[in-house]
Amino acid sequence: MTNNTPADPNMSPKTSRVSFDSYIMKVCHVVALRATCRHREQGAVIVRNKRIISTGYNGAPPGVKDCLERGYCSKAEGLPCLAEGLHGESNAIVSAARDGIGVSGTVLYCVYSPCRTCCNIIKTAGILEVVFEEVYDGFPDGPCYLLNLGVEVRKLVKEKHE
């Protein structure tokens, strides 16, 4: 008789498959690889009924030179960001809106908890829950702020990603 209990706490003991939350968080990490801001690589995924409807990452608006095109990141040097890019969460919401996809009633997954502005945009967009892996050090009160706005919040245990 074999023990079907996996060592990974994010694995379902019944099926030995990665949990849905872990699956989507892995997608967030892949999305973050597209970020053009080198100060912080945020990936965000919006999910409705366990289906991905939009993704977003940190980056400058279309037509604005980003950190990669300029060859340096001003924020990494302690200066204001010259690209003033969108955060991944906002980018995912705007991308859905641009394509006529509503995000009300959805769940937003992201690598880092949102900043204050993104929290307000999330609430205004009607997103019901935010699932994140790490607290954003630029706004450590983000999870509590979201709760006060009436948005559910869950912090996942960070996994090693291959």
**Is there a catalytic annotation at residue 162?**
no
Partners of 4 in beta bridges: none
User: Residue 74 CB: number of other CB atoms within 10 A?
Assistant: 15
| Given the residues 89, 134, 152, 162, the one annotated as active site | 89
Q: Report how far residue 14's alpha carbon sits from residue 28's, in angstroms, rounded to the nearest whole number.
A: 25
Query: Considering only CA atoms, which of 70, 79, 76 is closest in space to residue 39?
Result: 76
Q: Provide the 8-state DSSP code for 83.
A: S
Q: Lay out the sheet containing 129-134: strands in order across.
A: 51-57, 43-48, 107-112, 129-134, 152-155
Please give the positions annotated as active site: 89
